[in-house]
Structure 1
Amino acid sequence: GWGGRGRKAKRGDVRAAILALLSEEPRNGYQIIQEIAERSEGGWKPSPGAVYPALQQLTDEGLVISEESEGRKTFRLTEAGRNYIESHADEVRAPWDEMRPDIDDNTADLWHIARQSAFAMMQVLQTGSDAQIREARKTLIETRRKLYQILADDEPGEE
């Protein structure tokens, strides 16, 4: 995220996050990465190179089991994994809470609107006609121009 930084992930944070998420429901590796990024409000997005080895380690420890369905591996807690979470509640917390960027409400609101706009653009691309896509392109070009114009203008109220 922009406008502030959360703290850097520590050793064990990926493991704790995976266990916390799998305690809610089974997930694949991609879903784990996306959920951490979403819950940390963009402050932390662990790489596949951090998540998949941690999943393998948890599998080796017998805390997690993987099941393949339709070519996708989904991971879920084993009984031993659920027992581990109960006896290690201090370790298995939500580390993403500490990694949210420190941003004000205006910045968070602007990011939220930008994400919603990106989803709307994807809908236009997926379902829009050629004419609708051309119109959306014009709108984005105009929006980009206006955003740069905001920076070029004097601060509002400075006259």
Structure 2
Amino acid sequence: MRRRRGFVQLAILHLLKEESMHGYQIMKELEERSDGAYSASAGTIYPALQEMLDQHMIELESGADKKVYFLSEKGNERLMEFANQGEGDFWGEWKERMVWRNSEESLRLRAALEGWETQLRRTMRQIRGNPERVEELISLIDEMTNRLKNHRDQ
């Protein structure tokens, strides 16, 4: 599955609304805002920054020492969209998500999901060219999707 950076990007936009920062400052501030529950890595932050630069949500000022990122008009619009969704206190949600992410339950769920995904990919390779088995797998996935929807709504 493709890793999503949306929530990290949103956190970066919130930080840059407060002040312009360089990458290391962003990493340290994100960790601090989660009371240490999130340990930002360069492998997460810099690709997120590059993606946001490509989307024109942030801009870059290259000084003599460090690259400093700042919020663009488009990034500010994204923050306003988030605020209009009535999502509440972003940093409270940030901390809560990061604490959950490191919890035993979350780790177990992710391990189960990784095992499921591995088996799904193996099964997909094995049933290539067999329309009947493909339909069975689609039915199984649809059934699981519906069960998850029902479970969520309870």
Place the TM-score, normalised by the shorter chain, in its bin: 0.5 to 0.7
Q: Quote the residue 1:93 is aligned against.
A: 90
Distance apart, 1:44 and its partner CA: 0.4
Distance apart, 1:100 and its partner CA: 4.5
| Rounded Cα–Cα distance in structure 2 between residues aligned with 1:22 and 1:42 | 20
Paired amino acid for 1:79: E
Contact 2:57 2:72 in 1 (8 A): yes
Q: Which has the higher helix share?
A: 2
Normalised by the length of structure 1, the TM-score is 0.52
Match of 1:53 among 47, 52, 58: 47
Q: Quote the residue 1:32 is aligned against.
A: 26
Normalised by the length of structure 2, the TM-score is 0.54
Question: What number of residue pairs does the alignment pair up?
Answer: 93
Contact 2:35 2:95 in 1 (8 A): no
Contact 2:10 2:79 in 1 (8 A): no
| Rounded Cα–Cα distance in structure 2 between residues aligned with 1:66 and 1:49 | 19
Runs (5+) with no aligned partner, structure 1 = 1-9, 102-159
Contact 1:29 1:74 in 2 (8 A): yes
Q: Secondary structure at the match of 1:34?
A: helix
| Rounded Cα–Cα distance in structure 2 between residues aligned with 1:75 and 1:17 | 14
Q: Quote the residue 1:81 is aligned against.
A: 75
- Cα RMSD over matched residues? 2.4
Structure 1 moving runs of 4+ over 4 Å: none
2:43 is aligned with 1:20 = no
- Larger Rg belongs to: 1
Contact 2:15 2:26 in 1 (8 A): yes
Provide Cα deviations, 1:86-116, integer angstroms capped at 9, x if missing partner.
1222479335321248xxxxxxxxxxxxxxx
| Rounded Cα–Cα distance in structure 2 between residues aligned with 1:28 and 1:52 | 10
| Rounded Cα–Cα distance in structure 2 between residues aligned with 1:43 and 1:75 | 24
Contact 1:33 1:46 in 2 (8 A): yes
Flag the structure with more relative contact order, 1 or 2, with Cα contacts below 8 A and sequence separation at least 6. 1
Q: Quote the residue 1:113 is aligned against.
A: none
Provide Cα deviations, 1:50-104, integer angstroms capped at 9, x if missing partner.
0001000001001100101122000001112112211222479335321248xxx
Q: Secondary structure at the match of 2:59?
A: strand
Runs (5+) with no aligned partner, structure 2 = 101-154
